[in-house]
Structure 1
Amino acid sequence: MRTTRYAFLAAVLAIAPASKALAATSDDCSQGFGTRLIEAYAEDAQPADPNAPAPERRAMPSPLPSPPFPSAEWQLGGVAYPIGVPNLNSQYPLEKALACTAFGHWMKDNRVEIYGWINGSVNASSSAHTNYPLSYATRPGRAEFNQALLRIERVPDTVQTDHFDWGFHFDNLYGYDYHYTTMKGVFSNQLLNNPRADQPLNGKTYGYDPMLFYADFYLPHVAEGMVVRVGRYLSLPDIEAQFSPNNYLVTHSVLYTVDPYTQMGVMTTTKLNQQWTLQVGINGGNDTAVWNRSARPTLQACVRWVSKDNDDMLYPCVNSFNTSDYNYNNVQMYVTTWGHRFSDDVHILTEAYYMYGRKIPGYGPEGVPGKAGEYGIVNYLNVAVNPKNMLSFRNEWYNDQKGQRTGYATRYTTHTLGMTHWVTQDLEIRPELRYEKSYDVAAYDGGRKDNQLSAIVDAIWHY
């Protein structure tokens, strides 16, 4: 997936004596860890070998080039990669630098990977008090430390079909974005029990969230392969994701901002054939740990279809269904995503959902508990300009009927144009311009205006 170049380090190496550049490599175990790490970044600046063999796969070819797009595969939650697709991550600089150590040898022997990224942003806005419901850059006119993420994982080999395999995944997130990712019952006191009058969101300004922790079990002899996931995992649908590198744009749609983020439970993903994949699972409810008293047994079920020519993808989901009344984020959610590829360089993604909660305090007649619902649609038009640059244009319409999700009972439209520039396979920069409007009440800048214009740029450094 990672084929762009680190121009700055390449220039440094060009200035250095040729003998020195030839002598130093990240796998030279006579060098110290720091030197090997620097050389790993320098190696990422070199052209990729066009004749390098592609990893074996037993799935349709990847429909999209990545980079410049954030993923090479059509959307499918609940698995690291669609069943039959190999681990597409090349070795990151930290892993290369560790390779000479005893720990590095153990990692390689056991297919364990350790890597991550650091993400910061700066924004300018026509609002003075808050950018919400824009996310995650909620504070206007600020430089923000969004995410520092450390990932430890083992990806099961779902290409082979002759033996059981397993994997695990553990994500440690620190930064401002924990405001949106927190699950009740998992380090949630730092957010839920710390009201802040000086912040647009409650909680400590920066916090820690063990965002994902799960085990995967691959059963090759069930249909064309099944993965059983147990633990805390990302909500299955959505074009957008909590992790900065997985997104086409810096900011998120209103539709994504207010929907469920993670669940905890058991999810099965079964490949029926090349075109059809079925997912069924049960969890403790949206953004709620199974041991928390707010948890309710909740069903998830999705099916993904991909056309024979790989140009279309349809992914309808019942993301959360139970018969319980509202408690902590207990909403019923029905969502569908459609993707269409016009060419290798141009594709669209469209998502629509309906979501509601039952007997929510204060949302019925005369303030008694009642139903509150919301629905919307968002479309992405994505264009690969070249292997280092992509453009994305997002348009959205959203109706928060009673204001239960955003705080304002109004209809919204948002229009966002952004670019991703891969300086290197280890560094991406994303500028963005966004205009949004509320139609029934003033919903921006804390209820002071009915529209908002913002500009933002972020950088993601992978390690």
Structure 2
Amino acid sequence: MSKKVLSFALLFALAPAEQAMASAERAASVTEVTPSAELGDVAPSAPTAESADCSRGFFSRLAAAYREDAEPADPNAPAPARRGMDAPFSSPPFPSSEWQLGGVDYPIGVPNGNAQYPLEKALACTKLGHWMQDNRIEVYGWINPSANLSTSDHTNYPLSYATRPNRVEFDQFLFRIERIPDTVQTDHVDWGFHFDDLYGYDYHYTTMKGVTSDQLLNNPRPNSALNGKIYGNDPMIAYVDFYIPWVAKGMVITAGRYLSLPDIEAQFSPNNYLLTHSILYTVDAYTNMGVITTTKLNDQWTLQLGLHGGDDSAIWDSTSRLTAQACVRWVSKSNDDMLYPCVESYNNKKQTYNNLQEFVLTWGHRFTPDVHMLTEVYYIYVKDQALATDPSQSHAPNGVPGYPVGEAPNFPLGRNPAFGIVNYFNVQVSPKAFVSIRNEFYNDEDGQRTGYATRYSSHTVGMTYWVSPDLEIRPEIRYEYAYDFPAYDGGIKNHQTTALLDAILHY
């Protein structure tokens, strides 16, 4: 762990020196160019980028790629073709340029917008790199450390993911390899796949029962903010895609383990407007395993139908239950409004591991291309928590009004409900930065989701600043309050204030 942190610090420390060396090398490489008329009108060849100079070694090309990415982008570069309405936002600085749609890498008709990150550039001179480029296979990822200062001493929960207070944390090392199907064209079937492996503290939240879950569930840590090994690994995304252009305006069939569909937020740091997550997001579904279809009916309407094995349970685990999933997304013709109602999961079975019944509605509104907001509301419940079949499940909440911490009675049989609403107001302040304001109310009626039967509110302000296309910095400040029970710092405080900072280095 210390070696990873040291390497990260060295990379930042050497970045200015690398840029200075790059400037010196560019200055030294300037030569006189004879006008083409004097050379029989033979056009001079374009200079080769240092990252594409195959006479250099791999690490030299990698360093050159970071230097080149720090240079201004070409403002006249042509936009890739797309089939549908224009993108409503700019990305960067926003996490995405598209209206929300879960279950697919990009909405149908939207081209692959991934940048070619330094690792891919450095690999381009190798046989493996050539083969990957020829087959449209991409490999990249990021490193994400954070630091926080908190008024709590033992735990920041239900704040996530920075649950351990007053420390530097290694949140995510993410490795991704994928092939994105071309859904802009309509003349042939295409295919793709997506595999993500996550290492870091954030595995505490992403783990699926039956997929490397022993490191979380079978490692009790009574004196830590969360049970489980401090740092763990989760192969959290693994699916294949099939694109069929002749069904309506195009259909994508996705099979495997994929992210839960409806949330504004996502498990991956670069996909979020803020460093921390809402309480609403912290305690709902994370990943599903099953099959889902995404069908573009026209530019305004997209339909999603699927079956999965229950929230956060692998289909081969005893806690899995066959579960229905259905969502529809509507975008106005003006591109200024979006509605995304979604039945994330419904099977009407009793609680096992995280057998949620979840119903979600998201509304997005664009005031201008630089200003938009997103609002999500949901109702979720589990059935008969006190009869849960999984031994890792508690049958009693940590805190209920009128009882000391740890002495509350069992959850009542029947529905144990919770509902919440969260709003994001997002303002682009420059081509490299945006500010996001998040306000939230959450009611955990029986304490089944957070462990405390109380109402919450949270209020967060943060900024994302792109130092370069490969490096994001995100400062944030957050205040939250529990109205009916002291749910913070392990059940001893009603409120919590946290200041945080993280960095996302793409590779």
TM-score by length of 2: 0.88
Distance 1:289 1:85 in 2: 30
Distance 2:256 2:16 in 1: 40
Q: Name the structure 2 match of 1:402.
A: 446
Which amino acid is 2:364 matched to? G
Worse overlay, 373-382 or 10-19: 10-19
Of the three residues 264, 276, 282, the one matched with 2:289 is 264
1:68 equivalent in alignment to 2:75: no
- Cα deviation digits, residues 95-139 of structure 1 (max 9, x gap): 000000000000011000000000000000000110000000000
Q: Name the structure 2 match of 1:348.
A: 373
Worse overlay, 29-38 or 268-277: 29-38
Distance 2:241 2:451 in 1: 38
Q: Where do 5+ consecutive residues of structure 1 fail to align?
A: 1-5
Among the aligned pairs, what percent are the same residue? Answer: 67
Of the three residues 60, 70, 74, the one matched with 1:45 is 70
Q: Name the structure 2 match of 1:383.
A: 427
Structural mapping, 1:17-36, within 5 Å: 18-20=27-29, 25-36=50-61
1:85 equivalent in alignment to 2:107: no
Which amino acid is 1:82 matched to? P
| Greater radius of gyration (CA) | 2
Q: Name the structure 2 match of 1:199.
A: 224
Judged with a 3 Å threshold, the aligned counterparts in structure 2 of structure 1 residues 46 and 17 are, in CA distance, closer, same or farther, namely closer
- Cα deviation digits, residues 76-112 of structure 1 (max 9, x gap): 0011100000000121100000000000000011000
Which amino acid is 1:271 matched to? K
Q: Name the structure 2 match of 1:448.
A: 492
In the alignment of these two chains, the number of paired residues is 458
Q: Name the structure 2 match of 1:144.
A: 169
Which amino acid is 1:221 matched to? W
Judged with a 3 Å threshold, the aligned counterparts in structure 2 of structure 1 residues 175 and 131 are, in CA distance, closer, same or farther, namely same
Q: Name the structure 2 match of 1:430.
A: 474
Of the three residues 1, 22, 34, the one matched with 1:13 is 22
Which amino acid is 2:458 matched to? T
1:210 equivalent in alignment to 2:216: no
Distance 1:9 1:358 in 2: 58
Q: Name the structure 1 match of 2:123.
A: 98
Q: Name the structure 1 match of 2:402.
A: none
- Cα deviation digits, residues 220-244 of structure 1 (max 9, x gap): 0000000000000000010000000
- Cα deviation digits, residues 193-220 of structure 1 (max 9, x gap): 1111121111000000001000000000
Which amino acid is 2:420 matched to? G
- Cα deviation digits, residues 273-293 of structure 1 (max 9, x gap): 000000000000000000001
Deviation at 1:19, TM superposition (A): 2.7
1:155 equivalent in alignment to 2:180: yes
Which amino acid is 1:350 matched to? T
Structural mapping, 1:269-284, within 5 Å: 269-284=294-309
Of the three residues 315, 334, 338, the one matched with 1:313 is 338
- Cα deviation digits, residues 320-367 of structure 1 (max 9, x gap): 000211111001000000000000100000000000011110479974
Distance 2:425 2:413 in 1: 40
Worse overlay, 23-32 or 370-379: 23-32
Secondary structure at the aligned position of 1:107 is classed as: helix
Q: Name the structure 2 match of 1:461.
A: 505
CA contact (8 A) 1:363 1:402 kept: no
1:392 equivalent in alignment to 2:440: no
Structural mapping, 1:164-313, within 5 Å: 164-313=189-338
Q: Name the structure 2 match of 1:3.
A: none
Distance 2:305 2:18 in 1: 47
CA contact (8 A) 1:190 1:203 kept: yes
Secondary structure at the aligned position of 1:458 is classed as: strand
Distance 1:442 1:42 in 2: 50
Judged with a 3 Å threshold, the aligned counterparts in structure 2 of structure 1 residues 23 and 153 are, in CA distance, closer, same or farther, namely closer
Deviation at 1:38, TM superposition (A): 0.8
Distance 1:174 1:90 in 2: 23
Distance 2:448 2:188 in 1: 48
Judged with a 3 Å threshold, the aligned counterparts in structure 2 of structure 1 residues 437 and 28 are, in CA distance, closer, same or farther, namely same
Deviation at 1:371, TM superposition (A): 1.9
Secondary structure at the aligned position of 1:328 is classed as: coil
CA contact (8 A) 1:7 1:423 kept: no
Q: Name the structure 1 match of 2:11.
A: none
CA contact (8 A) 2:145 2:172 kept: yes
Judged with a 3 Å threshold, the aligned counterparts in structure 2 of structure 1 residues 106 and 371 are, in CA distance, closer, same or farther, namely same
CA contact (8 A) 1:298 1:320 kept: yes
CA contact (8 A) 1:363 1:369 kept: no
Deviation at 1:249, TM superposition (A): 0.3
Secondary structure at the aligned position of 1:421 is classed as: strand
Q: Where do 5+ consecutive residues of structure 2 fail to align?
A: 1-14, 31-46, 387-394, 398-407
Which amino acid is 2:447 matched to? G
Of the three residues 354, 367, 373, the one matched with 2:417 is 373
- Cα deviation digits, residues 242-287 of structure 1 (max 9, x gap): 0000000000000000000000000000000000000000000000
CA contact (8 A) 2:154 2:224 kept: no
Secondary structure at the aligned position of 2:381 is classed as: strand
Which amino acid is 1:282 matched to? L
Deviation at 1:71, TM superposition (A): 0.4
Secondary structure at the aligned position of 2:51 is classed as: coil
Distance 2:215 2:128 in 1: 33
Secondary structure at the aligned position of 2:472 is classed as: strand
Q: Which has the higher contact order (CA 8 A, sep 6+)?
A: 1
Secondary structure at the aligned position of 2:52 is classed as: coil
Deviation at 1:17, TM superposition (A): 5.8
